[in-house]
Structure 1
Amino acid sequence: MAATGAYFSPGVSSPIFRRALPLLGTLNSGRIQSMTSRFAISVDRVPSTFVEAEKGITSEVKREERSVVAETRKRLEENEEKKPRNGWKDYLEQAEELIVTDGGPPRWFSPLECRSRVDKSPLMLFLPGIDGMGLGLVSHHEKLGRIFDLWCLHIPVADRTPFIDLVKLVEKTVRSEYQRSPNRPIYLVGESLGGCLALAVAARNRDIDLVLILANPGTSFSRSQLELVTPLLEALPGSLSSALPNILSLTAGDPLRMVLDNVVKGLPLQNTARDLIEDFTTFSSSLPVLADILPKETLLWKLKMLKSASEYANSRLYAIKSQTLILCSGNDQLLPSQQEGERLHKLLPNCDLRKFDDSGHFLLLQEGSIDLVTILKGTSYYRRGKYHDYVSDFIPPTPYEAKQVIESNSLINAVTSAVMLSTLEDGTIVKGLAGIPSEGPVLFVGYHMLLGLELVPLVSRIFNERNILVRGIAHPMMFAKRKTGRLPEISSFDTFRIMGAVPVAPSNLFKLLSSKSHVLLYPGGMREALHRKGEEYKLFWPEQSEFVRMAARFGAKIVPFGAVGEDDLGQVVIDYDDLVKIPYFKSEIESLTNEAMQLRAGASGEVANQQVHMPGILPKVPGRFYYYFGKPIETEGRKLELKDREKSQELYLEVQSEVERCIAYLKEKRESDPYRSILSRLLYQATHGFTSDIPTFEI
């Protein structure tokens, strides 16, 4: 059975039609089941008036429709600069509307905020927790709606569909959509009970490309205190709503706990009940709505369903091969979610884990702390095809996301007070970044400081001052990690992926340049970033050209640059040569190096010597970072010329020489900078204002 979703927008006389959504179950007498003005309307048969309106739509209506879409996009762009919405407030407001028009079987709806999506967007199905409203992503609708075709499952309050029947209903939709678009993944986002539902569907449909996003999944039910709630509820006198007048009359202290003490006075479970109610304290004033969402009979039914769902999903974990991302809270008062996340991470073969230590059970409704789209970007979980493509599937960071990433690194930006110099087309050196080409493709090629310390100020300043996103070519260990190992947690690199970093590979460089991107490349790689004592500012490049012909193929401008200042922050006192003399550290280095993917395995010389280790660094009173971008080298029109190996090698050595010249220039000029020391910079800011630009040497 099929249904049509239609939108109603203020100021538009005709509905904006969408393609049909499959409807689970049947609706009474074929009547329209309105999901209120906020949501797409679900019907099982299109009324004749709708058909006539669609057939007779005029150009005027089309213009109005385009106007509505344009206005919607403008509103979304404006919202990008705002903080994430208040999830609980929106949830309760919209849940109240849904309850008024509730009735019928479980069904899908698509929020009005989700109508402006990109082409070939994958389907995302949201599977709710025990509330059944389908509004758990209300804070994320606008952003998700731009990159997904989002459907939310709504289970009416009075519905008593068993868990296995819900599995079959979701499965029917999944199989139908898979037949329609077999080359696109289907995302199942499940929270709590919905997490069990997603796992069950994945276990039964191993032939379908499913991506599971599980927020505090209910598979830990048997190890939680929720099992104790069923006898507690059965012992409560009357309905839950009978206690609401007393709850609402309390204005001091912790009213929810006080009322619960009164309700269960004398029962051994009262301390348990206190803990379980923690997550509800943020919306105590809206308890009447909550009582309508989960009346006593419904809550009892849902808790029993969660128990059976947990058992069903756990018994079939062995069959799940789907790509899975688990989001778990460290302060979940209802389920042991963090321990459960770690357990599932070990059991599921294709699974990643992200922890949110300060979040409670209702993870996706937490105000300001969780953004599902940002999480998908950081984990590289968004894809439109069989595999994630780091170029075609990349979604640029919104201004708000970029601001958050840059502010998270504000300390190093403040401490280093970077000086940026660039070169104009006529060879003039100027302060600032005016010499950087605005239009791509552009290939920045430079020196990799100790531990890659130059990356944050470089990317931040170019983004803030020129509105250019620099896509870094990075080591593969930032994108994949064994479940057992000693390399840093893969989550520590999420911000790099949000800002567009891609694994080093010729294919990725090809795609970036073909898409006219600004690309950052370090030929010296890890060998420069983990250099030995006395090797500051020494280049370790391959002997043969690696990037020149690729740049010439797309007419990319090559911008050589130097960066200095690492020796003003710290001094290497224990390096690789020292560590390998100690058996324990030698063994650790070998283990880390074997765990990390090896690059340039066929290369010779120092550039192939990329052992993974952490040098011992003695901190200094912080100095200053300096960057000098040389004159862009044109490769446009030189494709045939640079196919010749000798010619490409000559240009390669020219770029290398230019990087060394930039470094030498900065090392000399910084000696005359009166504000090289952080003490002199702090004194300047104290007298001129802490937001003032700090001067430097004369060019």
Structure 2
Amino acid sequence: MPSAGASFFTGVSSPLFRRDPPQLLRKPRILRMAPRFAISVDRVPATIVTEEKLTMTVAKREEEISTVETEKRWEENEEKERRTGWKEYFEHAKEFIGVADGGPPRWFSPSECGSRLDNSPLMLFLPGIDGLGLGLISHHQKLGRIFDVWCLHIPVADRTSFTDLVKLVERTVRSEYERSPNRPIYLVGESLGGCLALAVAARNRDIDLVLILSNPATSFSRSQLQFVTPLLETLPDSLSPALPNILSLTAGGPLRLVLDNFVKGLPLQNTARELIGDFTTFSSSLPVLADILPKETLLWKLKMSKSASEYANSRLYAIKAQTLILSSGNDQLLPSQQEGERLHKLLPNCELRKFDDSGHFLLLEGSIDLVTILKGASYYRRGKYHDYVSDFIPPTPYEAKEVIESNRLINAVTSAVMLSTLEDGTIVKGLAGIPSEGPVLFVGYHMLLGLELVPLVSRIYNERNILVRGIAHPMMFKRQKNGSLPEISSFDTFRIMGAVPVAPTNLFKLLSSKSHVLLYPGGMREALHRKGEEYKLFWPEQSEFIRMAARFGAKIVPFGAVGEDDLGQVVIDYDDLVKIPYFKSEIEKLTNEAMQLRTGASGEVANQQVHMPGILPKVPGRFYYYFGKPIETAGRKQELKDRENSQELYLEVQSEVERCIAYLKEKRESDPYRSIVSRLFYQATHGFTSDIPTFEI
């Protein structure tokens, strides 16, 4: 069981000895031991060698609980724990700067961050202008489950130059690369730390680095911060250097303007209670902030930010590292959103995530979860390339709840009816007929625009606690070029819930891992069908999945879904659009942006033109799903290797999907609550959480 402390070290290969400093990191309900500082002998400064300055009383151990119990309890309380990190930040900042905080910059590792996945990558956090290294404090526990986390701490009085900081980080990166050359190294840079991460990446193009840049200070020359330095330099020495006194200077001056904006940019939450709490926390902690950034230190860090920005910008051309930029739209200190767009265009292997309502200190906001962001962007990997199966981290209950809640409107409007088939062939309401144990392959009809996906995945997860991994079009993961298609970030929630790109290797890995997999043989051709083609299957002529399912003994569950014609009607389709030169040109652009699929195929399912049909909305009806009887392939591996046998089963599955659709189309005619009007009236009289009846089976 890892202790809830921190380990400090200036080197990674030198002999180490341990001392007992004050407790630095605390978490409720977690076993806490005395935190440790490990300092390399060859670089121990005289100011921190004295044993008396570092030895503290060992903290009392809390009740020991097993790792499994800790994990379960942590997940159960994840929603409660999701809060701003400012209070923790200031609490631990006092301890960081309060005792023997001299010497050179050094790394510390929150010992709660003991990685629990094999071959977890190393994450190095590079702090912003404060230098403490506490910017990830509200993420430590969750990050520690999938990373080895080290944070750089720069003491308040330290005056190490930017280029020397680059060399310090570079030495650590190279040392860890030599020790584990096949695992990536993550550099998470906040503000000034973003410049540091870019500089290290430019100098180490041969090392597999992943950069996560939160509002990088490469835009310093275009920010209000540049006006603070000359004002600080003109302050008389007779004035107290404490930041609270600087705050009380004349209103309207550049420094006051910046610091006022600092407060405005705080990640205040939506509720009044949290807003007051955040503001009170910050206001009462101004003395701590003054200790973190006294006048001399603030002046030094501002000058460093200027040189760091120039250094990093002059070397952007040399950066090949995979990069994810996190940009705040309400950053009052730096023009971060514009800078994110600029870097996104300049860096060759870069993705951008925007947070329009967030301030400069993005990683301390309660609404921000770095692990969730990495999952959504598919930026977590333990090898040279991201593997959508082996690198997948299932959503926590809170993450899944957030994704489902974000789609609650379509769930409420469609009020889906789910039917399934038991092993004896009995049709039942609900999902009892869906096999609990994988591998399971759901094969069905893709409604217009894929509208059936959200209710299907949501209900199976909520009612059966089964995560369905969808096989999706590659354009949801990568683009051949940027253009008019929705931003990749629009599909982050799909990736969080386990979607993978269409590829035989991905289907192979999912079935081998006994997953529940969702496959649409008709793909985009069905989802973007023409007028009058509702509920018509467009499947390839030859089997694409039967032999793969048989290889792993997967159960094939054919299903049908109807209801798209109760939401809207296609009035302008592809055939109409291509007759108009402007729309034909736009369709060609969109198709060239998307990743190509089935380029070697012929007929209806060949690579499809990407377009948006014109849809006339209707008064919403209802969605209906019918999961047929599972088809066993276990023990049929040799039999289904034969092409004729596999083709016969393929046609059987296709026929079963068509039968499920026909059954639903007939039965829904007798549903008294097919219209949203009748459903709303029912809920008004029976309660809005009540289940709405449907037709008799």
Q: TM over 0.5, yes or no?
A: yes
| CA shift digits 1:38-65 (9 cap, x unpaired) | 285222369xxxxxxxxxxxxxxxxx99
| RMSD of Structure 2 on Structure 1 (CA) | 2.3
Q: Which residue of 2 aligns with 1:607?
A: 605
Q: Distance in 1 between matches of 2:611 and 2:265?
A: 43
The answer to whether residue 348 in structure 2 is matched with residue 349 in structure 1 is yes
8 Å CA contact retained: 2:324, 2:350: yes
8 Å CA contact retained: 1:25, 1:105: no
Instruction: Say if 1:379 and 1:31 are closer, same or farther in 2 by CA, change over 3 A.
Output: closer
- SS at 1:472 equivalent: strand
Cα shift at 1:225: 1.0
Give runs of aligned pairs for residues 489-500 of structure 1, distance below 5 A: 489-500=487-498
8 Å CA contact retained: 1:41, 1:109: no
8 Å CA contact retained: 2:467, 2:497: yes
Q: Which residue of 2 aligns with 1:171?
A: 170
The answer to whether residue 188 in structure 2 is matched with residue 201 in structure 1 is no
Instruction: Say if 1:187 and 1:477 are closer, same or farther in 2 by CA, change over 3 A.
Output: same
Q: Distance in 1 between matches of 2:210 and 2:440?
A: 34
Cα shift at 1:68: 5.6
Q: Distance in 2 between matches of 1:88 and 1:525?
A: 47
Instruction: Say if 1:456 and 1:604 are closer, same or farther in 2 by CA, change over 3 A.
Output: same
Give runs of aligned pairs for residues 298-697 of structure 1, distance below 5 A: 298-367=297-366, 369-608=367-606, 610-697=608-695
8 Å CA contact retained: 2:439, 2:512: yes
Q: Distance in 1 between matches of 2:235 and 2:257?
A: 15
Q: Which residue of 1 aligns with 2:38?
A: 43
Q: Distance in 2 between matches of 1:179 and 1:268?
A: 47
- SS at 2:112 equivalent: helix
| CA shift digits 1:352-403 (9 cap, x unpaired) | 0011011010010012x21100000000000000000000000000000000
Cα shift at 1:86: 2.5
Q: Which residue of 2 aligns with 1:250?
A: none
Q: Distance in 2 between matches of 1:8 and 1:674?
A: 60
| CA shift digits 1:553-573 (9 cap, x unpaired) | 000000000000000000000
Q: With the length of structure 2 as denominator, give the TM-score of the two structures.
A: 0.90
- SS at 1:125 equivalent: strand
- SS at 2:92 equivalent: helix
Q: Distance in 2 between matches of 1:22 and 1:502?
A: 41
In terms of mean alpha carbon deviation, does 30-39 or 100-109 score higher?
30-39
Q: Distance in 1 between matches of 2:327 and 2:39?
A: 37
Gaps of 5+ in 1: 1-5, 10-15, 47-63, 247-258
Give runs of aligned pairs for residues 50-449 of structure 1, distance below 5 A: 67=65, 69-70=67-68, 72-101=70-99, 102-237=101-236, 238=238, 244=244, 260=247, 262-265=248-251, 267=253, 270-271=256-257, 274-279=260-265, 282=279, 283-367=282-366, 369-449=367-447
Cα shift at 1:80: 2.6
| CA shift digits 1:193-217 (9 cap, x unpaired) | 1000000100110000000000000
Cα shift at 1:270: 4.9
Instruction: Say if 1:196 and 1:618 are closer, same or farther in 2 by CA, change over 3 A.
Output: same
8 Å CA contact retained: 2:420, 2:628: yes
- Give % identity: 82
8 Å CA contact retained: 2:122, 2:149: yes
Cα shift at 1:76: 2.6
Q: With the length of structure 1 as denominator, give the TM-score of the two structures.
A: 0.90
- SS at 2:419 equivalent: strand
The answer to whether residue 25 in structure 2 is matched with residue 34 in structure 1 is no
Cα shift at 1:271: 4.3
- SS at 1:110 equivalent: strand
8 Å CA contact retained: 1:95, 1:289: yes
8 Å CA contact retained: 2:6, 2:110: no
Q: Distance in 2 between matches of 1:421 and 1:630?
A: 9
| CA shift digits 1:75-128 (9 cap, x unpaired) | 433333435132111111111111112222111111132125222110000000
Instruction: Say if 1:303 and 1:403 are closer, same or farther in 2 by CA, change over 3 A.
Output: same
8 Å CA contact retained: 1:124, 1:149: yes
Q: Which residue of 2 aligns with 1:55?
A: none
- SS at 1:388 equivalent: coil
Code of the residue aligned with 2:264 in structure 1: it is E
Structure 1 residue ranges (4+ consecutive) displaced by more than 6 angstroms after TM superposition: 24-27
Instruction: Say if 1:173 and 1:505 are closer, same or farther in 2 by CA, change over 3 A.
Output: same
In terms of mean alpha carbon deviation, does 79-88 or 644-653 score higher?
79-88
Cα shift at 1:601: 1.6
- SS at 1:139 equivalent: coil
Cα shift at 1:645: 0.3
Q: Distance in 2 between matches of 1:295 and 1:31?
A: 30
Cα shift at 1:486: 1.6
8 Å CA contact retained: 2:531, 2:572: yes
Q: Distance in 2 between matches of 1:537 and 1:277?
A: 56
Instruction: Say if 1:549 and 1:556 are closer, same or farther in 2 by CA, change over 3 A.
Output: same
Instruction: Say if 1:613 and 1:267 are closer, same or farther in 2 by CA, change over 3 A.
Output: closer
Q: Distance in 2 between matches of 1:596 and 1:272?
A: 43
8 Å CA contact retained: 2:243, 2:289: no
Instruction: Say if 1:25 and 1:626 are closer, same or farther in 2 by CA, change over 3 A.
Output: closer
Instruction: Say if 1:218 and 1:239 are closer, same or farther in 2 by CA, change over 3 A.
Output: farther
- SS at 2:285 equivalent: helix
Q: Distance in 1 between matches of 2:186 and 2:410?
A: 38
Q: Distance in 1 between matches of 2:78 and 2:253?
A: 49
8 Å CA contact retained: 1:216, 1:329: yes
Instruction: Say if 1:8 and 1:422 are closer, same or farther in 2 by CA, change over 3 A.
Output: closer
Cα shift at 1:609: 5.6
- SS at 2:140 equivalent: helix
8 Å CA contact retained: 2:125, 2:151: yes
- SS at 1:208 equivalent: coil
- SS at 1:623 equivalent: coil
Q: Distance in 1 between matches of 2:75 and 2:260?
A: 42
Code of the residue aligned with 2:437 in structure 1: it is E
8 Å CA contact retained: 1:25, 1:106: no
Code of the residue aligned with 2:605 in structure 1: it is V
Aligned length: 654
- SS at 1:599 equivalent: coil
Q: Distance in 1 between matches of 2:18 and 2:114?
A: 24
- SS at 1:44 equivalent: strand
